[in-house]
Amino acid sequence: MRTFFIACFLLLIAAPSSGQDLVNQIADALEPKVIEWRRDFHQNPELSNREFRTAGIVAAHLRGLGMEVTTEVAFTGVVGILKGAFPGPTVALRADMDALPVKERVDLSFKSEVTSLYRGEEVPVMHACGHDTHVAMLMGAAEALAGMKDQLHGTIKFIFQPAEEGPPPGEEGGAELMVKEGVMEGVDVVFGLHISADTYVGTLEYRPKGMMAAVDDFRIVVKGKQAHGSAPWLGVDPIVTAAQIVNNLQTIVSRSLELTKAAAVVTVGAIHGGVRSNIIPEELEMIGTIRTFDPEMREKLHARFRTIVSNTAASNGATADIQLPYSAHYPVTFNDPALTSQMLETLERTAGKDNVELIDAITGAEDFSFFANEVPGLFLFVGGKPLSVPADVNVSHHTPDFYIDESGMKLGLRTLMNLALDYMDKASTQ
């Protein structure tokens, strides 16, 4: 680590390199490390609130850089503080650490073979959303910026967050709990980014104001009356009831919401019930997600949801217990317009003006939103799609075939560095 600090110092005093040249050179030097870290995390993924190994590696790395480090934040989170030589603002940089209960299908030398417990079941675990790349990029940015400590005007807080995908049922977690525990105290601004399998390597995507949807997950337990499958009239079938509920819920968005105002989504993601082909079960569980952008539409959707579920169950002689939200309830991911405008020049210089794209809002969700509710925030997408893949071929996040071109991480590393450096430099000259 000391060798890298010396190298950074030599680059700092070398002439006639510009600041951007220096960032590029440091990113080039760090890229092999970032890739190595990413592959290790990818091969050893951990579910939400269980990121013990990942957190240990991150904490050791930050301590090795001479930072003040706090661990066990929101269970497994890690926060590192880098104090510059000069006074200035406190900039937070954030990465999420958790993986998903998905079985990897991509044939990689560092493919995940990990299994773990999720909702009481043994499941395969995979970094199917790129959080492994986020951790690796922020570790690289931490190393690079620590090497520039004597040049920094302000403080940088490195936030390694657990449970972005939502804590296990019955637990708190993620950005919301980190905020409750005081992580954002004293912070002036927060930056975050997400790798995108749908965006070509070398590209940055942004949007002022609402960029990603609010999310509320739900759990419904439909209760009927058990009976032999050959005599359904002797029971109340929760499976038939659940089927009707699924269909009826889809009428909320299509018939009850003003879609020209904002988008909304209702998805049932899992149904669990029954044990045999000839037994009508007593009850059934459904879980799913709701996505909205407008607070009033969110409230109306929730009300219609409860009415439809309860009345559909009642029309079949069943009952329905509704938990909404269940374990995840993130607000809209909102990019502060003034901050977005201020940092656009940084993005264009980092990626090249032609490689910075203004995008429409998307119905994905991010609990970075809790950080950005506390202070001005800016959240971005960095490209991870191979240039060789046709534009009409996309591999979705949260799937077994999720794949990232690791060459895209260098732009993410440079972006994190430049956002922090430029914001602090501009604040120090005002």
Tell me how many domains the chain contains.
2
Q: Quick one: 171 and 28 in the same domain? A: yes
pLDDT attached to residue 319: 98
Of 269, 290, 323, at which residue does a domain stop? 323
Q: Are strands 204-206 and 377-385 parallel, antiparallel or unpaired?
A: antiparallel
pLDDT attached to residue 373: 98
Q: Quick one: 202 and 264 in the same domain? A: no
**What CATH number did the domain enclosing 58 receive?**
3.40.630.10
| Active site residue ranges | 330, 406
- DSSP H helices, 316-393, are 337-351, 368-372
Q: Quick one: 312 and 227 in the same domain? A: yes
Q: Quick one: 158 and 111 in the same domain? A: yes
Residue-wise pLDDT for 337-388, tens only, equals: 999 999 999 999 999 999 999 999 999 999 999 999 999 999 999 999 999 9
Q: Quick one: 88 and 190 in the same domain? A: yes
Q: Quick one: 195 and 336 in the same domain? A: yes
Average pLDDT of the residues of the chain? 95
pLDDT attached to residue 20: 82
Structure tokens, 194? 């997400």
Of 302, 323, 344, at which residue does a domain stop? 323
CA separation for the pair 114, 117 (Å, rounded): 11
Q: Quick one: 33 and 65 in the same domain? A: yes
**What CATH number did the domain enclosing 319 receive?**
3.30.70.360
pLDDT attached to residue 112: 98
Q: Quick one: 55 and 143 in the same domain? A: yes
Domain extent at residue 251: 214-323
Q: Quick one: 140 and 272 in the same domain? A: no
State the pTM of this model.
0.91
Closest CA to 378 of 169, 255, 212, 181: 212
Q: Reply yes or no: is the peptide bond before residue 325 cis, omega within 30 of 0.
A: yes
- DSSP H helices, 265-408, are 295-315, 337-351, 368-372
Q: Quick one: 274 and 315 in the same domain? A: yes
Q: Cβ contacts of residue 89 below 8 Å, gap of 6+?
A: 154, 155, 188, 189, 423, 424, 427
Q: Quick one: 258 and 157 in the same domain? A: no
What tens-digit pLDDT sequence spans the chain (430 residues)?
Answer: 545 554 554 454 443 446 788 999 999 999 999 999 999 999 999 999 999 999 999 999 999 999 999 999 999 999 999 999 999 999 999 999 999 999 999 999 999 999 999 989 999 999 999 999 999 999 999 999 999 999 999 999 999 999 999 999 889 999 999 999 999 999 999 999 999 999 999 999 999 999 999 999 999 999 999 999 999 999 999 999 999 999 999 999 999 999 999 999 999 999 999 999 999 999 999 999 999 999 999 999 999 999 999 999 999 999 999 999 998 899 999 999 999 999 999 999 999 999 999 999 999 999 999 999 999 999 999 999 999 999 999 889 999 999 999 999 999 999 999 999 999 998 878 7
Q: Quick one: 315 and 385 in the same domain? A: no
CA separation for the pair 202, 206 (Å, rounded): 14
Of 323, 345, 366, at which residue does a domain stop? 323
Closest CA to 371 of 96, 87, 32: 96
* Cβ 385 vs Cβ 198: under 8 Å: yes
